[in-house]
Amino acid sequence: MGRWLPLGLFLALAVLLGVGVVMNAGKTQTDIDSPLIGQPAPDFALPDFADPATTVRKADLLGKPYLVNIWASWCASCRVEHPVITDIANSGRVQVVGYNYKDAPEDAARWLQQFGNPFHRIIVDLEGAAAIDWGIYGAPETFLVDANGIVRWKHVGPVTPEVVETQLWPLLNTLEAER
Amino acid sequence: MNPLRRVLFLLALLLAGSVAALHPKDFQSPEEEARYRALAKELRCVMCQNQSLADSPAGVADDMRRQVLALIREGKSDAEITAFFQTRYGDFILYRPEVKPVTWALWFGPGLLLLVGAGVVVSIVRRQKTDAPAAPPADDRQEW
């Protein structure tokens, strides 16, 4: 029996390794699960991009679900997901709020002019201080907040048509059924 | 280029890639700075995930470091400050994971494996001692 012990140990390790590989297949290692899911969205008060003198608060957005899309003109992946975000906004199923993250306002304006503005509303976080409350660590990131102001979903990285099909629409269906 | 120069050149190239993290310089007291530095070591940079906040040059790490200092100045305790980041970024933010049931395997697994390994070694050595024939019989006829 003793002579089989090393082989047994080796196989046990191999199985462990295999399980790890299978469990992590298709996952992005750098994604951090947000502890905000199921929790109230952070209480924010940020200037409106269209009219910086106006402050948009969390309370202003309550009542119907909305998507918060973190973007910036310096963010290359934001261009990639731009058509997808536009499609979501055009579907009329959910409000899309742009969260302009650490961006120069003139650059952001140029970006919107060049690619089109898909957002129903844009809030501005110039310093990135409010972003810490959201657990934001880069752009793009996208949150779904329900009518009661509870965070229901977060996606890190560009939103793809597949993500919309397999995650966002089903979730919106549940939200609509809940009401 | 002679070999020494080449090595020095390569070393210089290596160093060129490393960017220093920006730390605030306006500490109000050495205690404040010590607390700030200790906390920055305990928290992970969420962007470049193999670095602590203390080492990371990423922009978001900069914002988080500022937040750490701001919280210190608000009179928050170290535990409150780590909790602040934990509720926003999750357990991942802790550069040193907490000891709790889900992390037991992480904390105690290696020690356990070491013990198992030691056990295996000991048993093999013991068996070899008993299995091995006693010292070879003295053979005076052997010619050297």
pLDDT tens readout for residues A5-63: 889 999 999 999 999 888 877 666 667 778 899 999 999 999 999 999 999 999 999 99
Q: What is the pLDDT of residue A30?
A: 66
Mean pLDDT of B66-79: 93
Alpha helix stretches (DSSP H) within chain A = 5-24, 58-61, 76-91, 105-115, 129-134, 161-163, 169-178
Per CB-CB distance under 8 Å, the chain A contacts of B120 are 5, 9
Domain containing A158: what range?
35-178
For testing contact with chain B, the best of A132, A134, A143, A151 (most B CBs within 10 A) = A132
Q: Is the pLDDT of residue B17 over 60?
A: no
Q: What distances in angstroms separate CA B53 from CA A57, B71, B99, one per listed residue?
A: 30, 15, 21
d(CA A47, CA A122): 9
Q: What is the pLDDT of residue B129?
A: 83
Burial of B17 (0-12, 13-18, 19+ CB in 10 A): exposed
* pLDDT (tens digit per residue) in A103-161: 999 999 999 999 999 999 999 999 988 999 999 988 899 999 999 999 999 999 999 99
Q: Do the domain assignments include residue A78?
A: yes
Interface contact flag, A133 B86, Cβ < 8 Å: no
Q: Do the domain assignments include residue A148?
A: yes
Of B39-48, B92-101, B126-135, minimum mean pLDDT range: B126-135
Confidence of residue B96 (pLDDT cuts 50, 70, 90): confident
A146 min Cα distance to partner chain B (Å): 18
Per CB-CB distance under 8 Å, the chain B contacts of A9 are 120
Of A45, A97, A47, A107, the C-alpha closest to A72 is: A107
* pLDDT (tens digit per residue) in A169-178: 999 999 988 8
Q: What is the pLDDT of residue A2?
A: 73
Spatial CB neighbours of B63, under 8 Å, sequence gap ≥ 6: A127, A128, A129, A131, A132
Q: Do the domain assignments include residue A13?
A: no
Q: Do the domain assignments include residue A30?
A: no
Of A150, A12, A173, the C-alpha closest to A68 is: A150
Q: Do the domain assignments include residue A5?
A: no
Beta-sheet pairing, A45-47 with A95-101: unpaired
Q: Is the pLDDT of residue A162 over 90?
A: yes
Q: Do the domain assignments include residue A1?
A: no
Q: Do the domain assignments include residue A25?
A: no
Mean pLDDT of A58-77: 94
Per CB-CB distance under 8 Å, the chain B contacts of A137 are 46-47, 60, 89
Q: Is the pLDDT of residue B55 over 90?
A: no
Q: State pTM to two decimals.
A: 0.75
Per CB-CB distance under 8 Å, the chain A contacts of B88 are 35-36, 132-135
Confidence of residue B119 (pLDDT cuts 50, 70, 90): very high
Residue B101 per-residue DSSP state: G
Task: Supply the ipTM of this predicted assembly.
Answer: 0.77
Q: What is the pLDDT of residue A27?
A: 67
CATH of B19-96 among 3.30.360.10, 1.10.10.10, 3.40.50.10470, 1.10.8.640: 1.10.8.640
d(CA A74, CA A106): 12
Spatial CB neighbours of A86, under 8 Å, sequence gap ≥ 6: A116, A118
Q: Is the pLDDT of residue B18 over 70?
A: no
Confidence of residue B143 (pLDDT cuts 50, 70, 90): low
Q: What's A74's domain CATH number?
A: 3.40.30.10
The two structure tokens encoding residue A123: 């809030």
Of B47, B86, B90, the CB nearest to A34: B90
Q: What is the mean pLDDT of chain B?
A: 84
A80 min Cα distance to partner chain B (Å): 20
Q: Is the pLDDT of residue B75 over 70?
A: yes
Q: What is the pLDDT of residue B136?
A: 61
CB-based contact, A34 to chain B, within 8 Å: yes
Pick the most confident of B1-10, B36-45, B109-118, B126-135.
Answer: B109-118
CB-based contact, A132 to chain B, within 8 Å: yes
**Residues of B within an 8 Å Cβ radius of A:** 46-47, 49, 59-60, 63-64, 66-67, 85-90, 92, 120, 123-124, 127
Of A66, A83, A89, the C-alpha closest to A158 is: A83
Q: What is the domain count for chain A? A: 1
